[in-house]
Structure 1
Amino acid sequence: MIYIISGTSRSGKSILAQKFMQKQGIPYLSIDWLVMGFTNGIPEYGIHDKLWPDEIAERLWDYLKAMLESIIWSESDIVIEGEAVLPELIIDFLKKYPSLIRVCFLGYAHVSVQQKVKEVYEYHRDKKDWLTKEPEQYVEDHIRNMVEYSKRIEKTCGQYGLRYFDTSKKFTKALDQAMEYLLKEK
């Protein structure tokens, strides 16, 4: 089974993926690692970490889809996490392999930018984190963009009947609900 956790930056994707990996004892792959491989290893492909998440998703999709096909063929279990999966891209793949893939999206469409910025600094204060190394205005702009992106993801998930979990208010509870969804039998 392939478990895909996608959504916006700072929505809890990595936290959920790591908990899932530990609970299920299966490997975990962050799409961010792939993006940084393209960014630093083969920049001529035009996939890099400075693009918007939807641009990365669109440019990376053929590669990611081929990788997912290989994982399915090898009958491996894995949890894959990252921003670079969009509801409109994954839906046909889900229809093709309905019993082999479980996907959910996380975001924070219903939080104030100031509250989310505060949470980012509180949570990541003592951690090795790229965002909190940036100027405060950059962090605020990033969060503002991700609130808007969350709204887009939430709407698109609704259009395609995909699960979206909002971490705006009850962060831990939303992650627990997403975990339950990923673990439930089809």
Structure 2
Amino acid sequence: MLYIISGASRSGKTIIAKKLSAQLGIPYLSLDWIMMGFTNGLPEFGVHDKLFPDEIAERLWNFIKAMLESMIYTDTDCVIEGEALLPELIIELLQKHPDNVKVCFLGYSEVEIDRKVNEIKKFSQLKSDWLTDKSDAYIEDHVKNMIAHSKLIKRSCTENQLKYIDTSSSFSDAIDVTMKYLSV
């Protein structure tokens, strides 16, 4: 089974992926690693970390789809997380392999910007993080972009009848809901 967790940056994808991986005793793969492989190793493909998530998802989709189908074909169990997926793209794989893929999307379409900036800054201080050295203005801009991205994901999930979980109001409760949804 492939457990796929996608959505906005800072919505809890990695936390869930690591918890689920440990709970199920299966590996976890971050699509961010693949994207950074293209960014730093194959820049000629035009996939890099400065693109918006939907652009990365569209540019990487054929590669990721082939990788996921290969994993399904070889009966590989894995938790996969990252921004580089969109509901309107993953639906094809889910319809083709409904017994082999479980997917959900996370976002924060209703979050208070100042509160989210403070949460990100607090988390970034606790561990090595790509936002650690960024200014408040940079983080605020990132949050605004991810709110817009969350709204797009939420709408596409509704249109494609996919699970969307919003982490705006209670982050830890949303993590628990997502874990229960994926574990069933």
TM interval, short-chain normalised: over 0.9
Structure 1, unaligned runs of 5 or more: none
User: 2:164 maps to what in 1?
Assistant: 164
Q: Does 1:70 align with 2:70?
A: yes
**Number of residues of Structure 1 aligned to a counterpart in Structure 2:** 184
The match for 2:95 is 95
Do structure 1's residue 32 and structure 2's residue 32 form an aligned pair? yes
Amino acid at match of 1:76: T
1:104 match: secondary structure: strand
Q: Identify the residue that residue 147 of structure 2 maps to in structure 1.
A: 147
TM-score, scaled to structure 1: 0.97
Shift of residue 48, structure 1, vs aligned partner: 0.6
Deviation at 1:123, TM superposition (A): 1.8
Q: Distance in 2 between matches of 1:90 and 1:79?
A: 15
CA contact (8 A) 1:16 1:175 kept: yes
Report the counterpart of residue 120 of structure 1 in structure 2.
Answer: 120
Query: Deviation at 1:133?
Result: 1.4
Question: Counterpart of 1:13 in structure 2: which amino acid?
Answer: K
TM-score if structure 2 supplies the norm length? 0.98
Percent identical residues: 56
Q: Aligned with 1:168: secondary structure?
A: coil
The CA RMSD measured in Å over matched residues stands at 0.7
1:51 maps to what in 2?
51
Q: Which moved more, 1:127-136 or 1:50-59?
A: 127-136
- Per-residue CA deviation, residues 78-99 of structure 1 (Å, 9 max, x unaligned), is 0000001100001111100011
Q: 8 Å contact 1:3–1:101 — kept in the other structure?
A: yes
Q: Deviations over 1:6-33 (max 9, x none)?
A: 0000000000000000100000000000
